[in-house]
Structure 1
Amino acid sequence: MGKISRRSVVAGAVGAAAVPVLGVGRAAASARPFRAGAFGEVAPRPNILVILGDDLGWADLSCYGSLHIRTPHLDGLAEGGVRFTDAYSAAAVCSPTRFALYTGRYPGRLPGGLEEPISQPNELHGIPPEHPTLASLLKQAGYTTAMYGKWHCGFLPWFSPTRSGWDTFFGNFGGALDYYSKMTGRGRDLYEGEVPVESLDYYTGTIADRAAEFVLGAREGPWLLNVNFTAPHWPWEAPGDQSVSEEITERLASGDLQALMHNDGGSLDTYREMVEAMDAGIGRILDALRESGGERDTFILFSSDNGGERWSYQWPLTGAKGGLNEGGIRVPNIIRWPARIQPRQVSDVPVITQDWTATILDLAEARPAAEYPLDGHSLTPYLLDGASAPQHDLFWRTKSARALRRGQWKFLRQGTAPGGLYDLSADPRENANLVQRRPEIAAQLSARWDEIDKDLLPYP
């Protein structure tokens, strides 16, 4: 390393800190509480672009307060639409949230949704091809459908995106893979449809480039495009980290099944570069959308499949991926639809993954299957017509924890410990347990949790 002066270190630190402070300042100055209103013409059914980050924490974007990471393209997406402050993933880990997004239902309605997450091929652990999905329902309504990136809803030979409504798929079936070699503990995990393929390019960039190609080639709408990044999920590899990839790949080949978890690697700077690479890829997709002429008539949703973990920034939340504290389930949510939704807005309405499924089906005029009723609530009347936001309870469970949010109140019980009650409007860190002061609310929320849970499959 070359010599670095104290002055350059201080200047760099000040510059890094200044960016998110200014970004949050601009957002605070220009963003306003969400309000639907007459805006633009009555638009046709929109194209649908759903972008998922993987293990991205609530505050890992500069528009959500990151002190270290610069995400100008996602910040711009938020400036052009609505940023949600109280948005949640359906689960605290990968697979169940994806089940909820694709089916619009609680993950516990299917055996595969009980896996936290799906880790091995099994004929029960996936979305059955006969079960309606976001893609199959939109396809019936005349949409072209495509998915690029991570599936994680079941393995071949039983499950696949192309068996569940997506016309096109390029990506990985499992939960994690090396960013360059695409290796896992079961071998290489990269497919075109259901055919294994090889690519040694950095995966985040490849997903973005393939998605951008789809957008440029799909000038005749409407279409649904799911873009599922593996970033910033481990292993901790940023663009250019081929030597790290080679080491992990060698360890996997030698039988070290823990290599992908990369517990002995990573850094804050590596994590920053991984998130910023995803943001740059999203920028290329948005550029393609603009070039295609479809920007105005495309509804975009950006989210994460669960909260962040090892290197993630969660402030002021506590907890992380895998747990039901706010840090494990509260995630960034941004939407944009220039034809119908005004820019520079922020909403504190609590929303959860399956609400977006119901909303998208509503926007696309796609009819849910009567025999598989949705558990989500459409936000379309709220977003477009000025109606009040849906008032419904948000429900979570893991094998060892339960949680339910109603308005400002959250009931949380972990393991065999007594349940806690928290006022999230005043205590997002969940440090002041109010169960003794408001036992009637705790009892109501606990009873409601039991009522929902009784209709779901039990954990094996």
Structure 2
Amino acid sequence: MTNFIFIVADDLGYADLGCYGGRAATSPVLDQLAANGLRYVNGYANSPVCSPTRFALMTGRYQYWVRGASEEPLLGTSRGNPELGLHPGLPTLPSMLRDIGYHTALIGKWHLGFRPHFGPDRSGYMHHFGPMSGGVSYWGHNARGPASDLELDGQPYDEPGYLTDLISKRAARYVRERAADGQPFLLSLHYTAPHWPWETRAQGGVDPEVSKDIAHLDGGNIETYRTMIQEMDEGIGWVVQALRETGILDDTLIVFTSDNGGERFSDNWPLVGGKMDLTEGGIRVPYIAHWPRGIGRPGGICAQHCMTMDWTVTMLDIAGARPPADHVLDGVSLRATLADASHGFPRPMHWRMKHKDQRALRDGDWKYLKVEEHEYLFNLERDARERANQARRDPQRLAAMRAAWESWNAQIPPVPAEARTDLISTLRDMPAR
């Protein structure tokens, strides 16, 4: 049986990696995985902000079916609310793989609701180490206030160290344990890097001021940010080395991506916009797939359009797991593209955001975008930077894509009026716990 490692970086820009045009040598391990695997150049996140994408990753469905995903993103103010999280009754990637004999683990960030109502162990993971919140200090491991936000198998837990390294070391240990017992596994390896606060391994401790307000806007710089990526990349190398040394690398599908587009220090070139935006810089992300036994021609580039939840369905497809009849998957399997990178099929993809009343649809070369009252139409194959608005030149196409988006939107629950979207101001107003 095939093992799966689903690696998710946090707020990584489209061009932050060398294999995606990065201007700094931050990612030799990931670049090598791409060179020996596949690189997808039309890959998208389900949302331009973190927790909604994670709802889609877990369920294989558009996140809008779950109330908590309307929070853009989930914040500490949702604690105690039984509606704002991933409900334990929902089928998930880990629960469906667990049910056919896989061991399942989340090592890293959860960010899908707080206890007592929600948690990794209540949604299919048999092992978890990492933070429950969205952003935490890399040294103090705190979200707001002095207490650590880490858990180990459902219990509050902390240990000294740089969080990126703690996550990487536990992931490598987990791989060796599974190799020893021979059980196939799903490892969700969800880093907080390179999300704020911007702290590196060399800093060696917590800045007290950062601990009070980890969403600070006056910290960090491009050098620190790039170092954080490099340290994550190094840790991924420890996991790959564990796979290689235990002889299970060939039978393991590794998928690497980001939960959304980049933040202020990210490199999104040639895309515009970033986190919280439905412009390309907010949703187009790197996708690297590495699977020696399953990829037809290593080193290839795949142009197939895809989004986060497609990888969920791909892993279920490869494993032979079937969802319950009442859990209709919105994602589609990319398994055929792994065998043949030139394989392609139509893949319309839809988004909406309460933030700035945004909507988007990509269908083929074309993208329909609405931000507040402004509508846009772009041919992304000719204009990836979204500078040449074709709305007036091609009003019939604009009308058709608007109608297609509205038809899709009519099938899913509306955005609740009380959903929170203003991330930074909300964090500043939120009391320490």
Q: TM-score, normalised on structure 1?
A: 0.87
Provide the C-alpha distance between the structure 1 equivalents of 2:239 and 2:128, rounded to a whole number of angstroms: 17
Partner of 2:176: 216
Partner of 2:29: 73
The Cα of 1:141 is off from its aligned counterpart by: 1.4
Partner of 1:167: 126
**What secondary structure does 2:15 align onto?**
coil
Structure 1 residue corresponding to 2:41, chosen from 81, 85, 89 = 85
Partner of 2:361: 404
Task: Give yes or no for contact 2:302–2:342 (8 Å, CA) kept in 1.
Answer: no
Q: Pick which of 378-387 and 102-111 moved more.
A: 378-387
Task: Give yes or no for contact 2:139–2:206 (8 Å, CA) kept in 1.
Answer: no
1:115-159, CA deviations, whole angstroms, 9 ceiling, x for partnerless residues? 100003121111100100000000111111011000111111110
Task: Give yes or no for contact 1:60–1:69 (8 Å, CA) kept in 2.
Answer: no
Partner of 1:389: 344
1:307 aligns with 2:269: no
Structure 1 gap ranges (5+):
1-44, 253-258
Task: Give yes or no for contact 1:381–1:387 (8 Å, CA) kept in 2.
Answer: no
How do 1:4-403 and structure 2 match up within 5 A? 45-120=1-76, 121=79, 122-185=81-144, 187-219=147-179, 220-242=182-204, 245-249=207-211, 252=212, 259-341=213-295, 342-384=297-339, 388-399=343-354, 400-403=357-360
Task: Give yes or no for contact 1:181–1:199 (8 Å, CA) kept in 2.
Answer: no
Provide the C-alpha distance between the structure 2 equivalents of 1:387 and 1:201, rounded to a whole number of angstroms: 44
Identity of aligned residues (%): 44
**What secondary structure does 1:237 align onto?**
coil
- Alpha carbons of structure 1 residues 386 and 425: separation in structure 2 relative to 1, 3 Å: closer
Provide the C-alpha distance between the structure 2 equivalents of 1:245 and 1:365, rounded to a whole number of angstroms: 48
The Cα of 1:112 is off from its aligned counterpart by: 0.8
1:92-118, CA deviations, whole angstroms, 9 ceiling, x for partnerless residues? 000000000010011100101111000
**What secondary structure does 1:374 align onto?**
coil
Structure 2 gap ranges (5+):
417-433
1:139-193, CA deviations, whole angstroms, 9 ceiling, x for partnerless residues? 1111110110001111111101111001000011110000001111153200001
Q: Which has the larger radius of gyration?
A: 1
1:193-229, CA deviations, whole angstroms, 9 ceiling, x for partnerless residues? 1100112200000000000000011011311000000
Provide the C-alpha distance between the structure 2 equivalents of 1:147 and 1:260, rounded to a whole number of angstroms: 23
Task: Give yes or no for contact 1:393–1:406 (8 Å, CA) kept in 2.
Answer: yes
The Cα of 1:386 is off from its aligned counterpart by: 7.7
- Indicate the RMSD between aligned Cα atoms, in angstroms: 1.3
Provide the C-alpha distance between the structure 1 equivalents of 2:395 and 2:169, rounded to a whole number of angstroms: 53
Task: Give yes or no for contact 1:118–1:154 (8 Å, CA) kept in 2.
Answer: yes
Partner of 1:21: none
The Cα of 1:56 is off from its aligned counterpart by: 0.3
**What secondary structure does 1:183 align onto?**
coil
Task: Give yes or no for contact 2:194–2:229 (8 Å, CA) kept in 1.
Answer: yes
The Cα of 1:348 is off from its aligned counterpart by: 1.5
Partner of 1:413: 370
Provide the C-alpha distance between the structure 2 equivalents of 1:123 and 1:146, rounded to a whole number of angstroms: 24
One-letter amino acid of the structure 1 residue matched with residue 369 of structure 2: L
Provide the C-alpha distance between the structure 2 equivalents of 1:386 and 1:48, rounded to a whole number of angstroms: 20
Partner of 1:6: none
